[in-house]
Amino acid sequence: MSFADEQLALLEASGWCRCGSVARAVADAGLAPVSARCLRGVVSAAQWKTAETATAALREHFSAARFAEETTYGVLLVPDPSKLDTRQAMRPDVRRDQLGRSTSDVFDELLPPGTLGIGPGRDWTPVATVTGRYGISLGSCEDVSKGRVRFRLGKPNRGIGSARVAPAIAFPR
């Protein structure tokens, strides 16, 4: 199976289309549904080759990081931020099929929205990034200087402020 076929199968099995409440949010936002057919029209063969190269480069670059063997890399889809901005909390009903009940996102209003890594105008932008459960462990939250750490394990005042990060590389059109 090719890298593109493998990633397309994983994307079709993702929450963007398998969780009914998330798929409804995608449709409500006016985004194209996530499917292999749709994605083959959005992502060119050259971009899939770039994705494969970028994914391998991320894996190699961070191979010496603590717990690197726990990190899975692949392709993630980022929706058009002018239609669905995932840097903010989603409606409680969007999480229903993921969590078994409607619930509000954990969202700190004091944090700035973060850097928008892609521009509007394209329903889905594929990026090479961490797609597994664990990001790359790069030390304490004080050690990580990639802007703002958006998720971390533990708290620095308890001595377990291990930061897990997920670097991403967007593919050019």
Query: What's the pLDDT at 16?
Result: 86
Q: Which of 170, 132, 163, 124 is nearest to 147 (CA)?
A: 163
- Between 10 and 86, where is the model more confident? 10
Q: CB–CB of 31/83 below 8 Å?
A: yes
Instruction: Using alpha carbons only, give the angle 106, 111, 116 rounded to the nearest 5 degrees.
Output: 100
Is pTM beyond 0.85 here? no
Please write down the HEC assignment for all residues of 28-78: HCCCCCCCHHHHHHHCCHHHHHHHHHHHHHHHHHCCCCECHHHCCEEEEEE
Question: Positive or negative, the Cα torsion across 18, 5, 38, 125?
Answer: positive
Average pLDDT over residues 124-134: 86
Tens digits of per-residue pLDDT, 51-100? 999 999 999 998 988 778 888 999 988 899 999 988 888 888 887 877 77
Lowest mean pLDDT among 24-28, 44-48, 154-158: 154-158
Residue 147 confidence (pLDDT) above 50: no
The DSSP annotation for 108-148 comes to -TTS------S-SS-SEEEEEEE-SS--EEEEETTT--SS-
Domain parsing of the chain, residue ranges = 3-132
Average pLDDT over residues 135-144: 61
Average pLDDT over residues 139-145: 51
Q: Which of 73, 65, 92 is nearest to 164 (CA)?
A: 65
